[in-house]
Amino acid sequence: MSMEILEPTTTAATQVIAYAARPAALAGKRVALVENTKFNSDKLLQRIGELLKTEYGAAECTMYRKHNASVPAHQEIIEAIRTSADVMVAGVGD
Amino acid sequence: MATLTSTRYRVDDAAAAIDLCFEKGWTDGLPVVPPTEAAVRAMLDAARLAPDAQVAYIRDRAVAITAEKVAINAVMAGCMPEYMPVVVAAVEGIGDPRWGYHGPGTSTGGAAVLLIVNGPIARELDINAGDNLFGPGWRANLTIGRALRLVMRNVCGSLPGLLDRGTVGHPGKLSYVIAENESESPWTPLHVERGFRPEQSTVTVMAAEAPHQFYNQLSNTAEGVLTTLADNMRISGNVMGQPHYCLVIAGEHMRTIAASGWDKKRIRQFVWDNTQNSHAHLKRTQRMSGAVEAGDEQKMRPLVASPDDILVVAAGGRAGAFSCFIPGWSSAKSSAAITKEIKR
């Protein structure tokens, strides 16, 4: 005898995410570095920040630290970056 | 009667339904019970939930988990309808922001969800708290945890190899459910320690590694048994992370420790005091970065941030001088153990 079964999966609601426009060049831009707390993620981003300044003319780099690797950046960081940086680099160190 | 909105599939018979679930990628590798409308409705009725009721919302994955989807997955896992309130409470637990779904649900660290059931419902549903605690043989233990993992897979998208990236994982990811042996335990039950009344039923969810068994067939004192436990435990799990730990104290050890007059608080404090590692050892064994410096032999790092992060549960067989400890995933800051009331 035939039977009918129900689908167990859910499709997440789609949402449109707007990205900020990328700057054409980094010269004079303020860079935010967001590290995820894992070993050496700060060192890696520090080095990237130095290269962005020496090779691309970025004005300054500021490091921010998430609470831990498995959560999104908290609101305080997001607000600080929104007001004090033009460009952001988020790194996953492991 | 509220309509069930899930997509329907018509198949020739139960065997075809089982095959379809495999083909669609809806199973954990074992056959499932076909989720018919009648079976799903029985599940919802047992928890007195409308199909569209939201049981949990996983913020980081933007997924709402409805009662209908929990019920479908509970049927597939082989649950009896009366298990449904336990499954619902467990889903609420992993949906709690303090549990932090995105970490343990996806991490290479390979956590399972350990479920500890307390209160009268554990006895009513025959959730095993005794012999062969983590082993097979009890429908409630094997299907309640399986239902939760199927929800994680089918609703939250934690598919092994895709969003569930556990490097080695462990068998508890199929189902990892125990009850506390409250009828024989001399101690305050876990849920009462965590703020509930004895007559309430609860489930505690903890992102967890596999159980680590230890032997002590020699001691007749609490200090002796727990010294062995602490020595086994000192280097285990994410040594630098300070996660939760769960201590599962089985019959013989339970009686020995209780005969020394120790309660759970004293057990926690002793284990916390005796599982600390010197910075020198952590550096020499490549767990802490940097070179060994003066004073590092005396500088101690606790394995767990606070004694309160150690859950103590009386469970396991009456015979045998074995118990176990279970390291939690990552750190207690990243994923906290959460206790939810089972509502009936």
Q: Which whole-number Å values give the CA distances from B230 to B31, B243, B244, B277, B299, in the listed order?
A: 40, 15, 15, 11, 18
d(CA A31, CA A52): 9
Helices (H), ranges, chain B: 14-24, 37-47, 67-77, 84-95, 102-106, 120-124, 139-154, 190-193, 222-233, 251-259, 264-273, 279-284
Nearest CB to A39; choose among B73, B289, B331: B289
Q: State if pTM tops 0.90.
A: yes
Q: What is the mean pLDDT of residues B298-320?
A: 98
Q: What is the ipTM of this complex?
A: 0.94
- The answer, yes or no, to whether residue B96 has pLDDT greater than 90, is yes
- The answer, yes or no, to whether residue B156 has pLDDT greater than 80, is yes
What is the per-residue pLDDT across B18-35, written as a single tens digit (0 to 9) for each?
999 999 999 999 999 999
Contacts of B216 (CB under 8 A, 6+ apart): B224, B225, B228, B229, B253, B321
Tokens describing residue B332: 């207690």
d(CA B58, CA A43): 32
| Residues facing B323 on adjacent strands | B214
Q: Which of residues 128-187 of B touch A (CB under 8 A)?
A: 150, 154-155, 157
CB contact under 8 A, A71 and B100: yes
What is the per-residue pLDDT across B279-290, written as a single tens digit (0 to 9) for each?
999 999 999 999
Query: Tokens 């009828």, residue?
Result: B183
- The answer, yes or no, to whether residue B10 has pLDDT greater than 70, is yes
Query: How does residue B94 score in pLDDT terms, banded at 50, 70 and 90?
Result: very high
CB B215: neighbour CB atoms within 10 A?
11
What is the per-residue pLDDT across B220-261, written as a single tens digit (0 to 9) for each?
999 999 999 999 999 999 999 999 999 999 999 999 999 999
Query: Tokens 């239902």, residue?
Result: B147
d(CA B69, CA B45): 14
Tokens describing residue A71: 């959560």
- The answer, yes or no, to whether residue B183 has pLDDT greater than 70, is yes
Q: Count the alpha carbons within 13 Å of B322 in the hemisphere toward its beta carbon.
A: 12
pLDDT of residue B68: 98
Q: Is B21 on the interface with A (CB under 8 A)?
A: yes
pLDDT of residue A93: 62
Distance from CA of A55 to the nearest CA of B (A): 30
- The answer, yes or no, to whether residue A91 has pLDDT greater than 80, is no
Distance from CA of B160 to the nearest CA of A (A): 15
d(CA B234, CA B226): 12
